[in-house]
Amino acid sequence: MSAITPLMPRQKVPSLSVPLVGGGTWSLADQSPENFTMVVFYRGLHCPICGKYLKDLDTKLADFAKRGVDVVVISSDGEDRATEAKAKWELENVDLGYGLDLDNAREWGLYISTSNGVTSSGYEEPAVFSEPGLFLVRPDGTLYFGTVQTMPFARPAFDQILGALDFVIAKNYPARGEVIDHTNP
């Protein structure tokens, strides 16, 4: 079993490449945003909270684009479940990636859960799946902001992220949490 190692701000993030619902492949190495790439990891089709969260993001995608932020949404679900999630949740704008390898999820510091059976949405949880995370990655591939969760609840609100981006971009605010050895900063 591999342990979770947090990603460090101002350091390179792990590689990331996934197929997209509707065709094609999304790769972090191919991104060239003006300011950031926002990678949103979600639990999967079985998670009704994910559906509401991602629908909110879908309606705000243009707001992120105005701030020079490219967005991708990714889960460890297979193609069929990801395709169903995109349709069921009426996600019209976001690029939805699927098939996240759980070893890659661990590299990103995501928590991994086992199935509790059928959820309130009526869908069975996969045997093993990744929990949510959200990351802002600079164009040079270094981490600016990251958050991971053990549960589907209380995720960062996209309105608050947009407000923070306005400040960060206007002030050229540096990534924080970059100290690796606090005894010798």
pLDDT tens figures, 63-101: 999 999 999 999 999 999 999 999 999 999 999 999 999
Compute the distance between CA of residue 96 and CA of residue 79 in angstroms, rounded to an integer.
10
Residue 57: the pLDDT is 98
Closest CA to 81 of 98, 93, 103, 94: 98
Closest CA to 43 of 92, 107, 102: 102
Q: Which amino acid is at 176?
A: R
How much is the pTM? 0.95
Compute the distance between CA of residue 102 and CA of residue 62 in angstroms, rounded to an integer.
30
Structural domains present in the chain = 28-171 (3.40.30.10)
Compute the distance between CA of residue 38 and CA of residue 67 in angstroms, rounded to an integer.
11
Residue 143: the pLDDT is 98
Compute the distance between CA of residue 94 and CA of residue 55 in angstroms, rounded to an integer.
9
In the chain, what's the furthest Cα-to-Cα distance? Answer: 52
